[in-house]
Amino acid sequence: MSTLRVPKEFGVHRQEKVVVVPLKKVFEGVDKLSIVRKIFGKKTSEIVNSLTVELHSRRGYMGVSQDDGRIFLSQPYLKDGPDHYLYLDIIHELVHVKQQRDGKDLFDEDYDYVDRPTEIEAYKLAAEEARRIGMNDKEILEYLDIEWMSASALKKLVKNISLELQTVFPKSKPNFSGWYQTK
């Protein structure tokens, strides 16, 4: 048993620079998109206008808070991510926003990430939209192949979202343990 102890009067405030802005300040025209209107229906404008994005400095993509439905977005990703990735990811996250508003558990530990019904719904819609905007199978697969997903999990995800692909599986990227692992 170690006797290492920092003095009790010492404390740490581990602050990360966090900025919360309206969604509209980050992405334009979201409420005009037919795919988004498909998610929220008549309430699209009202909901999209009320959404906020929390920008954080960690590497990663996007996520949604189970508590209040705010969207998390990695600043490095916002800076360097391709437009079509950001487009598909915001669609994915808006599906989670709808699910969160419907009272669904976005982080149901009874399922692995790629088997979770909330993820399957989000990935399915994003993949369909990817095809609609002209991405080919290889590009869709590369988009789905996120850094912290294993090759077998990716394969399972493709099967779970009923995506018919005319291409071979890429070798999965290395595991990025330092990433903010959410999407």
Query: Which CB sits closer to Zn ion, 45 or 182?
Result: 182
Nearer to Zn ion, 9 or 110 (CB): 110
Q: Which residue has the tokens 């294993």?
A: 150
CB of 163 to Zn ion, least distance (A): 16
Q: Which stretch binds Zn ion (CB under 5 A): 23-31, 34-42, 114-122, 155-163?
A: 114-122
Question: Under DSSP, is residue 138 helix (H, G, I), strand (E, B) or coil?
Answer: helix
Which conformational region is residue 41 in: left (phi greater than 0), alpha (psi within -120 to 50 degrees), or beta?
Answer: left
Judge whether 106 and 135 are in contact, CB under 8 Å: no
> CB atoms < 10 A from the CB of 78, how many?
15
* Residue 94 or 122 with smaller CB distance to Zn ion: 122
The angle formed by the CA atoms of residues 62, 162 and 167, to the nearest 5 degrees, is: 85
- Residue 62 makes contact with Zn ion by CB under 5 A: no
Least CB distance to Zn ion at residue 13 (A)? 31
Minimum distance, C-beta of residue 8 to Zn ion, in the bound complex (Å) = 41
H or E segment to which residue 105 belongs: none
Closer to Zn ion by Cβ: residue 122 or 149: 122
27: which DSSP letter?
S
Supply the minimum distance, in Å, between the C-beta of residue 82 and Zn ion. Answer: 19
Nearest by Cα to 26 from 92, 73, 80, 67 = 73
Compute how many residues bind Zn ion; rule: CB under 5 A. 3
List binders of Zn ion among 116-135 (CB under 5 A): 119, 122
Minimum CB–partner distance for residue 118 and Zn ion (Å): 7
Interacting residues with Zn ion (CB under 5 A): 119, 122, 183
